[in-house]
A and B are shown apart, each in its own frame.
Chain A
Amino acid sequence: QVKLVESGGGVVQPGKSLRLSCAASGFMFRIYGMHWVRQAPGKGLEWVATVWSDGTNIHYVDSVKGRFTVSRDNSENTLYLQMNSLRAEDTAVYYCARDLDGGHYFDYWGRGALVTVSS
């Protein structure tokens, strides 16, 4: 069955970096677009980034452009989110999610990784 497992979350000081990983299994990872979506405490869902199957088509929400980098290793079935220059407002649970049939919807989600940016 499809499984997505995020790791790499934790507490980090403002201005520092963190890299999230999402290990995928149970499907042909290399042919699917993948996304990162986050939820700040007490807030709703916010899309963060998308990377298409071959890794060449990438999009970001404006608030993370220039600071976050999404990438993937199709040989390792793993999605990444490199987060630099972290801010307090980046504090959230970060979910990786699989794309549904190229439609920019999210059909399978991980359980999430909590990132807390605090001094």
Chain B
Amino acid sequence: EVQLVESGGGLVQPGGSLRLSCAASGFSFSTHEMNWVRQAPGKGLEWVSYISSSGNTIYYADSVKGRFTISRDNAKNSLYLQMKSLSPEDTAIYYCAREETLAVGGSDTFDVWGQGTMVTVS
């Protein structure tokens, strides 16, 4: 079964740091681009960061640039998000999501999502 399982969330004080993990199973993790997407309580989805399959290409949302670092360990089938200088505005459920091109000639989409891990900054 294709699965993504996030962990590492919790309560942290403003200015603090936290490292999220996403364990992938049931598919070839090393060949897939991955993303972090977050959702503040009662709010919509907000894309946070992207990493290519090799880790060589990385993008961040402006709201987290300079504070968050995405990384991956293909040998461990794991995705990470190192978060520092956290503020209450970072309070959210953080989801990892797999990027996949599902059709020839098509484009990428987020076809597999984890269950999310809650980060509370207070």
The yes or no verdict on A and B being binding partners is no
* Chain A interface residues (CB < 8 Å from chain B): none
* Chain B interface residues (CB < 8 Å from chain A): none
